[in-house]
């Protein structure tokens, strides 16, 4: 048995079994990324699709996904690869792509406007070793590395990756402990600490998906934006107002089909609320 140190769960993993995320295993008494180099999705996307609106806009980025996740969002649009009970089959079915091969593929598409690799679709931090090995090669080739993450990871993971990450889009899914704990099975405190540090080491943008009856009030948006607005850089300078926030519309799917899609007018209203605090606010899925 070995203890995983990636996120707040600190799973005690029996030899040959998987942790909660479905992607970290115990082998010979130590925790390893069982999904290392196993790619389920690969596409050349506009960087704005990540979404990143203020990081090399107009560029393309090679998006790569593996399997597994350490949250259980009931509305997950990538549940086939993210939820562990569904993703387990990818242990044997996913295509194996080495860090060298992925970096070479990114370089190949540079002539088409590709700037690097975005680790996305599932939660990349549960397989951070693969991200790290690939990112080092990408930087050597003069290319960028992007993370699209839920931010549910220990700061030790972030510190190891930080020199090799150029940008992140981090989900700040809501601003109540109830929502994070009861609905997402996560930790708001961990995500907030992750965002605080990430803002000091690379370009970050945040995304909040507005789910009816869960995180859709103006008061919660005000509290969220007030916290973001106060974020500081490593020198103590307040930079939060400059951090982009993407406010996205929910659609019923997977295990959350008991409510309608978020009203478009509400998204625009919450965006106006956010703009009272933040300089760059974008609306998505409208």
| DSSP label at residue 179 | I
Q: Looking at residue 264, what is its pLDDT?
A: 98
**What are the backbone angles phi and psi of residue 179, rounded to the nearest 5°?**
-65, -45
CATH 3.20.20.220 fits 2-284, yes or no: no
Burial of 32 (0-12, 13-18, 19+ CB in 10 A): middle
Asked whether 151 and 197 are in contact (CB, 8 A), the reply is: no
Q: Looking at residue 255, what is its pLDDT?
A: 95
Question: What are the boundaries of each domain within the chain?
Answer: 2-284
pTM given for the model: 0.97
Burial of 140 (0-12, 13-18, 19+ CB in 10 A): exposed
pLDDT tens string 61-99: 999 999 999 999 999 999 999 986 766 788 888 999 999
In the three-class reduction of DSSP (H, G, I as helix; E, B as strand; rest coil), residue 135 is classed as helix
Q: Looking at residue 91, what is its pLDDT?
A: 81
Asked whether 120 and 64 are in contact (CB, 8 A), the reply is: yes
pLDDT tens string 157-199: 999 999 999 999 999 999 999 999 999 999 999 999 999 999 9
Q: Looking at residue 38, what is its pLDDT?
A: 97
Q: Looking at residue 93, what is its pLDDT?
A: 86
**Residue segments in the chain with a per-residue pLDDT below the cut of 70:** 84, 86-87
In the three-class reduction of DSSP (H, G, I as helix; E, B as strand; rest coil), residue 22 is classed as coil
Q: Looking at residue 87, what is its pLDDT?
A: 65
Q: Looking at residue 92, what is its pLDDT?
A: 83
Asked whether 88 and 115 are in contact (CB, 8 A), the reply is: no
Q: Looking at residue 84, what is its pLDDT?
A: 66
């Amino acid at each position: 048995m070995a203890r995983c140190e990636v996120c707040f769960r600190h799973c005690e993993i029996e030899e040959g079994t998987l942790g909660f995320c479905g992607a970290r295993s115990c082998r010979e008494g130590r925790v390893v990324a069982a999904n290392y180099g196993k790619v389920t999705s690969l596409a050349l996307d506009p960087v704005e699709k990540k979404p990143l609106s203020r990081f090399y806009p107009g560029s393309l980025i090679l998006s790569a996904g593996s399997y597994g996740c350490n949250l259980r969002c009931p509305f997950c649009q990538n549940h086939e690869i993210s939820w562990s009970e569904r993703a387990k089959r990818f242990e044997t079915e996913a295509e194996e792509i080495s860090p060298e091969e992925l970096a070479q593929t990114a370089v190949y598409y540079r002539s088409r406007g590709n700037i690097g690799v975005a680790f996305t679709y599932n939660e990349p931090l549960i397989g951070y070793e693969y991200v790290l090995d690939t990112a080092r090669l990408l930087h050597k080739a003069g290319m960028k590395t992007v993370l699209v993450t839920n931010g549910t990871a220990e700061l030790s993971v972030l510190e190891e990756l930080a020199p090799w990450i150029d940008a992140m889009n981090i989900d700040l899914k809501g601003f109540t402990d109830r929502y994070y704990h009861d609905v997402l099975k996560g930790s708001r405190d961990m995500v907030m600490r992750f965002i605080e540090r990430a803002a000091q080491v690379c370009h970050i943008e945040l995304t909040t998906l507005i789910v009816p009856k869960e995180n859709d009030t103006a008061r919660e948006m005000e509290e969220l934006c007030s916290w973001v607005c106060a974020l500081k850089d490593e020198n103590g300078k307040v930079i939060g107002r400059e951090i982009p926030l993407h406010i996205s519309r929910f659609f019923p799917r997977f295990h959350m089909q008991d409510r309608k899609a978020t009203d478009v007018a509400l998204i625009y209203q919450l965006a106006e609320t956010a703009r009272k605090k933040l300089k760059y606010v974008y609306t998505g899925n409208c």
